[in-house]
Amino acid sequence: MDHFERQLTQLMHGDREPAAFEPRHRERLRAGVRARRRVRAARRAAGSVLAAAGLGLGLFLWPHSGVRDEPSAPHPWPATSPTGPAAPTPGVSPSVPAAGVTTSAPPPTDTTAPTDTPSATDGSTAPSSPTPTGTATATPDAGTTRSATHGSSGDSTATTSPPSTPATGGTDPSDGSSAGSSAAAGSAG
Amino acid sequence: MEQARAGEYDEFVAARWSGLCHLARLLTGGDRHRAEDLLQESLVRLWFVWPKIADEAPEAYVRKVLARAAARSARRRWWGERPVEELPEVAAAGDMSAIVAERSRLEAALALLTPRQRAAVVLRYYQDLPDRQVAEVLGCPVGTARSHAARGVARLRELLADVIEPVG
């Protein structure tokens, strides 16, 4: 520290002007503290409001965005479900395990029994088509057996075809017999 | 609790008011009103941290707030400082108000420094802080603080050449 710096230090310390802490200073300080407290409270309140608004907005937008991501329409189900009466097919099909039972099941149900009997007469074909025939013949009639013949080659189509075919093919049993023969052919193949 | 806190705070402020006022005046280059504003702002901030630092170093806290606020507010706003060729209010020889004039010379010279230089010089030569603490108060590296102080002193050496006569 050279001479100038020492002089500078003395000058800074020496020219100290006495100042007293007066009541007006105290009042001013109190007012400043109150003002700052108000500002802090307002800032905190604004922050809370903003946080709540952001949270609400997020919650509001959350489910919409989730729905938007999903497909709007349900998956296409097999045509049997909308046709109504055949709806129980998924439930019925497992209850009817074997083809031999199919012949006994239809008679108590309704008048379709006579139409079904020809398929029963095709009992020779029944053993040839083991499980799929049982599922298909449970509901309607010979038409189903015919579908079962298709089902022997492709099992899932057995349930889809019945509702469309029975309207036309179910009327004449000859169709059913022919179908049965074809089923035998299909099962053999 | 609040009363005790307020009592301790008032006691501290009353005891240190004069010194803090002087420090604020030096930091602002002699602007009395701005010095009061800065000191008030610093003391208000001290009130909110008083329970934490009452037993530690409240004066160091106020000093730091003052120095940083002085530098920041000077950067943020123009306070009417204007460099001039000649310093005003030159004291006449044998004048009764020589001391006051000398103080005015010092404050006027300080006002011509940049806020950072002024703060570094004041902290270094009025508060007698080492370079490391000056840097800590200003929130800058030690080399930067040393540089500010050195440039400030060099500038003051030019400005106050006739007030502080060289030796020999």
Instruction: Judge whether B159 and A10 are in contact, CB under 8 Å.
Output: no
Q: What is the pLDDT of residue B56?
A: 85
Is A8 in contact with B164 (Cβ distance < 8 A)?
yes
DSSP letter (8 states) at residue A98:
S
In chain B, at which residue ranges do the beta strands (DSSP E only) sit?
none
Q: What is the pLDDT of residue B161?
A: 80
- Give chain B's radius of gyration (CA, Å): 17
A35: Cβ–Cβ under 8 A, 6 or more apart, which residues? none
Q: What is the pLDDT of residue B15?
A: 92
pLDDT exceeds cutoff 80 at B28: yes
Give contacts of B156 with chain A, Cβ < 8 Å: 8
Mean pLDDT, residues B6-31: 90
Distance of alpha carbon B70 from alpha carbon B111, whole angstroms = 12
Is A8 in contact with B153 (Cβ distance < 8 A)?
yes
Distance of alpha carbon B154 from alpha carbon B117, whole angstroms = 10
Q: What is the pLDDT of residue B101?
A: 67
- Give chain A's radius of gyration (CA, Å): 45
DSSP letter (8 states) at residue A127:
G
Q: What is the pLDDT of residue B90?
A: 54
Q: For B100-121, what is each residue's pLDDT tens digit? A: 666 778 888 999 999 999 999 9
Is B17 in contact with A4 (Cβ distance < 8 A)?
no
- Which residue on chain A is closest to B128 by alpha carbon? A9
Q: For B53-111, what is each residue's pLDDT tens digit? A: 888 889 999 999 999 988 876 555 455 555 666 666 555 545 546 656 667 788 889 99
Give contacts of A36 with chain B, Cβ < 8 Å: 44-45, 48
- Which residue on chain B is closest to A30 by alpha carbon? B44
Q: What is the pLDDT of residue B21?
A: 92
Q: For A92-149, what is each residue's pLDDT tens digit? A: 445 444 444 444 444 444 444 444 444 444 444 444 444 444 444 444 444 444 444 4
- Whole-complex ipTM: 0.78
Q: What is the pLDDT of residue B155?
A: 92
Distance of alpha carbon B14 from alpha carbon B139, whole angstroms = 28
Distance of alpha carbon B153 from alpha carbon B118, whole angstroms = 9
pLDDT-derived band at A40 (thresholds 50, 70, 90) equals very high
Mean pLDDT, residues B136-156: 93
**Long-range Cβ pairs for the range A86-89 (8 Å, 24+):** A86/A139, A86/A140, A86/A162, A86/A163, A88/A139, A89/A135, A89/A138, A89/A139, A89/A159, A89/A162
Q: What is the pLDDT of residue A50?
A: 97
Q: Is B33 on the interface with A (CB under 8 A)?
A: no
- The domain spans of chain B are 1-79, 90-168
Outline where A16-141 has alpha helix (H).
23-69, 89-95, 99-104, 106-109, 113-121, 131-136
Q: Among A13, A25, A36, A38, which would you mutate to test the B interface (most chain B Cβ atoms within 10 Å of its Cβ)? A: A25
B10, B19, B163 ranked by CB distance to A26: nearest: B10
pLDDT exceeds cutoff 60 at A178: no
Q: Among A3, A16, A24, A40, which would you mutate to test the B interface (most chain B Cβ atoms within 10 Å of its Cβ)? A: A16
Q: For A65-96, what is each residue's pLDDT tens digit? A: 555 566 667 666 776 655 555 545 554 445 44
What CATH architecture is B90-168?
Orthogonal Bundle (1.10)
